[in-house]
Amino acid sequence: MEKQIKSTCETCAHYNADGLKKLGLKTDDFDYVIALAGNPNTGKSTVFNSLTGLRQHTGNWPGKTVTRAEGAFEYNKQKFKLVDLPGTYSLLSTSEDEEVARNFILFGKPTVTVIVVDASRLERNLNLVLQILEITNKAVLCLNLMDEAKRNNIEIDTRSLAKDLGIPVVAASARFKEGIPELIQTISELANNKITCKPHKIKSIPVNIEHAVKQLSASIEKEYPTISNSRWIAFRLLEGDVQIIEALKTGKFI
């Protein structure tokens, strides 16, 4: 049963913002793992810093985050461990940073994946978003750099975007701390299953490939009935991803 809400204030992100405690590096015990993914130079590290209170170096050039950074925060008495993944444009290639990001989202099984995108370059950023949505069911889109989008006269219909992607969308300007309370609230609601996602699946696939993917994912589901991302596994198998083949043998991704 859901708790009775006393006033509308309680559902507001700013009302609950008091419950936020930045825990910095104290990541040893936690209730949920949150992954932070996104293209390079979209402000992932800035989002990471404002959630954890850490001061990971940020700068206006792509590729600053060279190692996986971890931090933590507490919200409404629940502890969240946050993992800042290296920025990538895609998850399909063999480069090291893409492998780190891809494998963490698949094998690390984060409770929620936060996808940080550059609002003024949405189309290019969606490439990564759509791939991540094939892997995981629980994700939130952080539409960052809204200030820049506004400056460039770009307007985004966030409600339609959320509907199209099937995940919650939070508009933010992390450098100015805008949208962070809403983001935390959404992460918490996702983690506690108060929001259910129905992520977009890649549609415009040529018929012969779609057919092969269906056939393959059906046979994967037959072997592993609980699996939710059989389509992604099928994609990777068709790509010949050695680590996926290995994982399939050991059942590591379940």
Partner 1 sequence: MDNNNTEKIIALSKELRWQIGDDFHDNLAESIYADASKIVADVVSKDNEKSKFRLDTKIDKIVTSRIWGFPIMLLILGVVLWLTIVGANYPSAMLSELLLDTIHPLLIKFGANISMPLWLSGFLFNGVYLAVAWVIAVMLPPMAIFFPLFTLLEDFGYLPRVAFNMDALFKKSGAHGKQALTMSMGFGCNAAGVVATRIIDSPRERLIAIITNNFSLCNGRWPTQILLATIFIGAVVPSSFSSFASLTAVIGIAILGVFFMFFFSWALSKTILKGEVSTFNLELPPYRPPVFWKTIYTSLIDRTLIVLWRAIVFAAPAGAVIWLISNVYIGNESIAAWSIHSLDGFGFLLGLNGVILLAYIVAIPANEIVIPTILMLTVMVTGIQVGHGAGVMFELDSVTATADILKAGGWTLLTAINVMLFSLLHNPCSTTIYTIYKETNSLKWTVVASILPVIAGFIITFLFAQIWRIMM
Is residue 17 a contact point for partner 1 (CB under 8 A)?
no
**Binding-site size, partner 1 (CB under 8 A):** 65
Nearer to partner 1 (CB atom), residue 77 or residue 222: 222
Q: Tell me if 244 sits within 8 A of 237, measured CB to CB.
A: yes
Shortest distance, position 138 Cβ to partner 1, whole Å: 20
Phi-psi region of 5 (alpha: psi -120 to 50; beta: other; left: phi over 0): beta
Q: Tell me if 47 sits within 8 A of 144, measured CB to CB.
A: yes
Distance CA 29, CA 15 (A): 26
Is residue 240 a contact point for partner 1 (CB under 8 A)?
yes
**Sites for partner 1 among residues 203-222 (CB under 8 A):** 203-206, 208-209, 212, 215-216, 219-220, 222
Is residue 57 a contact point for partner 1 (CB under 8 A)?
yes
Binding residue (CB under 8 A) for partner 1 from 10, 154, 194, 196: 154
**Sites for partner 1 among residues 70-129 (CB under 8 A):** 90, 92, 95-96, 120, 122-124, 126-127, 129
Q: Give me the DSSP letters along 207-234.
A: HHHHHHHHHHHHHHHHHSTT-S-HHHHH
Q: Give me the DSSP letters along 192-209.
A: TTSS-----------HHH
Phi-psi region of 201 (alpha: psi -120 to 50; beta: other; left: phi over 0): beta
Shortest distance, position 79 Cβ to partner 1, whole Å: 26
Nearer to partner 1 (CB atom), residue 33 or residue 143: 143
| Other CB atoms within 10 Å distance of the CB of residue 226 | 6
Given the rule CB under 8 A, which residues bind partner 1? 40-41, 55, 57-64, 66-67, 90, 92, 95-96, 120, 122-124, 126-127, 129-131, 148, 152-158, 160-161, 164-165, 175-176, 200, 202-206, 208-209, 212, 215-216, 219-220, 222-223, 234-235, 237-240, 245, 248-249, 251
